[in-house]
Chains A and B, each alone.
Chain A
Amino acid sequence: MARGPSSPVFLERRSYRRRRLQDAQRLLPVLGMLLWMVPVLWPTRDETGHVTMSAAIYYVFGVWCLLIGLSFGLWRGLKRKVDEGTEPPAGDP
């Protein structure tokens, strides 16, 4: 297969992927905020049904780990994209 004509398509794809990773990065704190505000909805002691403290700990720290993992993944992904790509890191959208 001829590699020449297809390479611009790859570049286009790569820069497209980079843009979407940046979108994800921007949305991540929103996701975090939403997930961490879920405990507000839980019933407290006085109300019917209750959540045990251990479950709450698992939930809060689980979300934390998830966010850290996603943030780390996005950082890795973007770093690789920037290293590979010819474009400089984007400025403000």
Chain B
Amino acid sequence: MASLNLLVGVSLVYVAFLFAVAFAAERAAVRGRSGWLRTPLVYTLSLSIYCTAWTFYGAVGYAARSGMEYVTIYLGPSLVMIGWWWVLRKLVRIGRSQRVTSVADLISARYGKSNTLAIIVTLMAVVGVTPYIALQLQSVTLALSIFSGPPDAEGLNGLNPLSAGFWVAGGLAVFTVLFGTRNLNANERHDGVVIAIAVEAVVKLVALLAVGIFVVWGIAGGIGPMMERIDASALGTWELDRSRWAALTVLSAAAFLCLPRMFQVLVVENDDERHVQIASWAFPVYLLLMSLFVVPIAVVGLNLLPAGSNPDLFVVSVPLAQGQTGLAVLSFLGGFSSATSMVIVATLALSTMVSNHVVMPIYLSLKSGGASMSGDVRNVILLARRLSILLIIALGYVYYVLSGGSGALAAIGLISFAGVAQFLPAMLGGIFWRGATRLGALSGLCLGFAIWVYASLLPSFGQDAVLPASFFEVGPFGINWLRPYAFFGIDGMDPTVHAVFWSLLMNTCVFIVVSLLTFPKPLERLQGAQFVNVFDHSGQARGWHASVAASEDLMIMAQRILGASEAQALFRTAAREQGMTGHLPEPTPAFLERLERELSASVGTATAHAMVSQMVGAASVSVEDLLAVADESAQMLEYSSQLEAKSAELSRTAGQLREANEKLTQLSVQKDAFLGQISHELRTPMTSIRAFSEIMRDAEGLSVAEKTKYASIIHVEAIRLTRLLDDLLDLSVLENGQVSLNSATGPLEAVLDHAVITAQASGDGRLRVTRDNVAGDTMVTTDLDRLGQVFINLITNAQKYCRAAAPHLEISVHADAKRLAVEFRDNGTPIPDAARALIFEKFARVAEGDGSGAGLGLAICREIMARLGGDITHVPQAAGNVFVVQIPRRQVLAGQ
């Protein structure tokens, strides 16, 4: 038929146009002008691969059959996007920081880079998505059949659905291989593909809106009449299978996160985390627009078209029946876009998983030399990927043929959804729960998947096709509670809800229980912490510590996988960052980790890990390695805290040294002055003595009074000299510890009495001495004479230096069980801070040249108190000075 040929021609032109767009985008990306390629708008539009041919054609059919239920397929994703904060944000961050390439890679990386898990997830994804790909083939084939005219008597219409399906499948396969694996740089980011699917997203939206607008305004005559028409139709009354409404909303939300193709566009192709935020409202808008006209089209289709028309094709058949061929072609292109974009991305995502997790590990293990063998691994990867694409599309075609092209589109889509939703517990558990283990994930996935296969996938081929009809009636081998649609004998559940409910429930329960019972390996625990706490540290905490790996070997391997120039650039940058001039960096743990990340972008986490493991000579990171790393970091911590303590100690010592130095400097000045002082103190009285004795000897005519006066001067000065010498000797003896102490017990009051009397005898009597709080029976055991000497000194000092108008000294005693404290509080001028440190030093006098003391008194006091096991301190006061003499109750004789 001419219109069929026209359609094929239009499709080919459209595909060529998409190629041009993709090619231009990749050229721009290569030239580094990729800014416009990675905008929030493009990101949002790329998410629209969620809306496949199933939703394009199938939603109307779904609505025609079940009313509003079709909308649940859009509600789930809308909720996920609006609630991006909870899951998507974390998924995207983890995907970026761990360079995750697929959903299988994510799960494998989370559970200790387990390749078993990766293989299982990959196989499940392939099995789960195959019906979906079949669905796309079926949609496009059906849509084509509409254009080929009404079916003839034999039900054939010149278009054999099987051969048509084959050509469609072949075309899609070629298209995908050319699109997805065209670039030899096997990175998981596909600028061209993303742009192409963004364009397709626009096409399908425009097509569906055009049909919708035509139906509402062109046929029904506006919104009001349309609504009346809806209410008057068979769909006019709200009808709902309640369990399906809730279950399908949850299921579509789960599938939105778990579908390999959605993971590809949501996480892998994400360029900027902020795009997720914008898509959080923009993508729901897209979904709303996609579902807005579904019910009107269904209602108008049911009204206009003859009974028995396939409602799945109303989107095309309604405009066609109205003679709007152009609109019908546009609508076909919309469906075609939906199908192609879904198949391309889905197969790309699946082929990445298959080649990274199945083909490459097998290939590497077959090659005895591991990753270090000769040959370009990149070609192997690309070949593996192309073969995977062909295989997956072939599987889809086989399913299409097997299922006989029968069944409503929506039912097939839901089967697929339920299959991939099995990833959800392992995925969410992995990113939110550190306790999730590999075995838990493995058993949950396997059980959930098995239930899904048994209760959903196999029955979809029809009774007696795979499962005998007896299974459905009496259960397998007569086990009644294992009937595929009625587990545990609970009849009457909707088959889809039944499969989703039991598979997800058992999956989750087993996942949790096994996780609780098993103990994760160290690598799992490390990865678990990295995933769950991804926002705390988006870095890497894996411990490569291999010095065995020669950088050259790594370079050779990296060149094969990344391409020569990229690998060289990577190594050069790393070498420069390490401060080296050559092209080869040291294989430091940091570099190995980075290399592994780069490699994992091409071949997946587990494979990259295995490759680097082989190169560095450690088959995997062993417990010992991890313990060593942990040990090392603990040691580092300890060492650094030691260093800190040391540095604190050093700075403390430095402070003490500075203080000591200051004191020494002062003491040196003091010492310097010592000789001058001692000389001065000795020579001054000597001068008087000598002068007067010479006068008395030489001068004539001295009166008796004069003679007496001069003689008494000589006498006083001689006594002064003697006292000075006594003090000096006393101090010297005390300092050398040669003093003998005569311990005796006596009342403290008597000692004080004696001291006050002795001191006042030599003073001018101006100082008023009062006593407070001196209990008469306070006994003290010590060298009482020496203690008295200290008291005398203190009282004498107060006499000499207290410059107050009415000098006053108050002596008080404070006693506790161990010590007596005798306080001498005067009302004189406080000793300046600067002088306080020195007052107990020899010849220290607060003010230069005042008084007649030699400045030895306090020095002697200090020495005596040290000998007596006590202490003498000066306490600064706002006004006046307080000297506190502390005496132990039971004196321990120090010194000898």
Contacts and interface: CB of A to CB of B under 8 A. Distances in A.
Asked if A and B touch directly (CB within 8 angstroms), the answer is yes
Interface of A: 22, 25-26, 28-30, 32-33, 36-37, 39-40, 42-45, 50-57, 60-61, 64-65, 67-68, 71-72, 75, 78-79, 91-92
A71 B242 contact: no
B227 interface: yes
Contact of A50 (B85, B238, B249): B238
A37 B244 CA distance: 11
19 contacts: A36-B75, A36-B79, A40-B242, A44-B238, A44-B239, A52-B231, A53-B231, A53-B233, A54-B230, A60-B75, A68-B281, A68-B288, A71-B82, A71-B280, A71-B284, A75-B278, A92-B90, A92-B535, A92-B536
Contacts, number: 107
B535 A52 contact: no
A56 B240 CA distance: 11
B231 A32 contact: no
B86 interface: yes
Given A22-B85, A39-B245, A57 B75 contact: no
A42 B292 contact: no
Given A29-B79, A54-B231, A91 B535 contact: yes
Contact of A36 (B81, B249, B536): B249
A60 B237 contact: no
B47 to A, nearest CB: 15
Nearest to A58: B227
A72 B281 contact: yes
A72 B230 CA distance: 31
Nearest to B294: A57
B235 interface: yes
B192 to A, nearest CB: 29
Most chain A CB atoms below 10 A, which of B80, B228, B235, B281: B281
A39 B238 contact: yes
B265 to A, nearest CB: 20
B523 interface: no
B277 interface: yes
B295 interface: yes
A52 B79 contact: no
A28 B281 contact: no
Contacts of B231: 52-54
Given A71-B280, A75-B277, A57 B68 contact: yes
Interface residues of B, number: 40
A56 B242 contact: no
A51 B83 contact: no
A60 B284 contact: no
B71 interface: yes
Contacts of A26: 83, 85-86
Nearest to A25: B85
B245 A32 contact: no
Contacts of A67: 78, 82, 284
A39 B78 contact: no
Closest 3 CB pairs of A and B: A29-B83, A91-B535, A51-B238
B71 A60 contact: yes
Given A40-B246, A92-B536, A53 B83 contact: no
Contact of A51 (B237, B288, B295): B237
Nearest to A65: B288
Contacts of B239: 44-45
A40 B240 contact: yes
B298 to A, nearest CB: 10
Contact of A53 (B90, B235, B280, B284): B235
Contact of A45 (B85, B86, B238): B238
Interface in B76-96: 78-83, 85-86, 90
Of the candidates A25, A29, A52, A78, the one having the most CB atoms from chain B within 10 angstroms of its own CB is A29
A71 B285 CA distance: 11
B285 A53 contact: no
A80 to B, nearest CB: 13
Contacts of A92: 90, 533, 535-536
A53 B82 contact: no
Given A71-B280, A91-B535, A53 B79 contact: no
B288 A61 contact: yes
A40 B535 CA distance: 38
B238 A52 contact: yes
Contacts of B280: 71, 75
A26 B281 CA distance: 14
B763 interface: no
B151 interface: no
A55 B236 CA distance: 10
B440 to A, nearest CB: 23
Nearest to A92: B535
A61 to B, nearest CB: 7
B246 A37 contact: yes
Listed residue (B230, B239, B245) with the most chain A CB atoms within 10 angstroms of its CB: B239
A57 B288 CA distance: 12
Most chain B CB within 10 A, of A43, A51, A52, is at A52
